[in-house]
Amino acid sequence: MSSAQPVPFLKGHGTENDFVILPDPDGLLELSAGTVARLCDRRAGIGGDGLLRVVRSAAHPEARHMAGDAEWFMDYRNADGSVAEMCGNGVRVFVRHLERAGLVKPGDVAVATRAGVKRTHLAEDGSGVTVSMGPAVLPGGGVTVRAGGLSWPALHVNMGNPHAVAFVGDLADAGRLLETPDVEPASAYPSGTNVEFVVDRGARHVAMRVHERGSGETRSCGTGACAVMVAAARRDGLDPAADGEDATYTVEVPGGTLVITERTDGGIEMTGPAVIVAEGTLDPEWLHA
Ligand SMILES: N[C@@H](CCC[C@H](N)C(=O)O)C(=O)O
């Protein structure tokens, strides 16, 4: 990362999906994949499942076309430094940071992402953030997930980023998830995928584990929880666009709870917490080592 100036950072999380946040309003930081991976390293860096660079849309070539709708662009990177289209927990934490920094007021805030503009709503009482995640796309075709020596049929769901959702007998069946689950056919996911393992907890209430592309097993994934909600609804015979009735599910993740509604227009809304934990300045000696 090239910068002669001190580089500020924050640390935040949403249902324990944690992020390094780098405010860079004018898009001046040159952020290599290696620097992102160093920052997200839990022992030698700050630590995080991913990184949120906070850039004015007008200052970023990938977001300039959205500047009229959303002042701020969430430049999201996975912990290994790879770029991803969207991060559902990240976008909540992103707007919490904007609010805390006095850059937006509670209420409606639009955020530009690589998956388009996402509309968010920051509760006045600071309780949580709701994000309009857009519709799920179900490309169809059979997918199989293998992990922990077992295999399951899975549903391919795209929430701006790719997911394979498998219903399992027990969340422990997926094993330790230290390695990337095998997903077939690989051609269904040319850029890799996030994988969710799901069990039922009650009526319209599920629990999941997730192995994230570029980050490994994490304690939550917002786009993954939305993919799981849609997979559970279809399995339960619900399709709000056809039924003319919204469907709401509670999705438990290891790091907390997300509430997700699919509307009759196909739009998906996710509500959950967003917390800023700390802020500081990167040590220039460490940064430029
Ligand atoms: N944790 C995120 C998803 C982050 C991106 C994902 N790992 C990918 O590569 O698609 C979320 O909360 O949605």
pLDDT tens, position by position, 237-270: 999 999 999 999 999 999 999 999 999 999 999 9
Shared domain check, 266 and 152: yes
Q: Is 226 one of the annotated active-site residues of the chain?
A: no
Q: What is the residue range of 221's domain?
A: 143-272
Shared domain check, 193 and 209: yes
State yes or no: cis peptide before 185, omega within 30 of 0.
yes
> Does position 1 have pLDDT exceeding 90, yes or no?
no
> Does position 24 have pLDDT exceeding 90, yes or no?
yes
- Cβ atoms of 19 and 13 within 8 Å: the answer is yes
Shared domain check, 207 and 113: no
Q: How far is the CA of 228 from the centre of ligand 1 (A)?
A: 13
DSSP state of 97: H
Whole-number pLDDT of residue 126: 83
Whether 74 is in the pocket of ligand 1, judged by its Cβ within 6 Å, is no
The answer to whether position 191 is within a domain reads: yes
Q: Is 40 one of the annotated active-site residues of the chain?
A: no
Catalytic residue among 31, 36, 79, 87: 87
Rounded CA-CA distance 75/85 in Å is 9
Shared domain check, 251 and 228: yes
Catalytic residue among 208, 221, 251, 274: 221
Domain count, the chain: 2
CATH code of 107's domain: 3.10.310.10
Rounded CA-CA distance 288/281 in Å is 13
Whole-number pLDDT of residue 6: 85
Shared domain check, 267 and 157: yes
Shared domain check, 153 and 98: no
| ipTM confidence | 0.99
Shared domain check, 245 and 147: yes
Rounded to 5 degrees, what are φ and ψ at 241?
-65, -35
- pLDDT band for position 64 (50/70/90)? very high
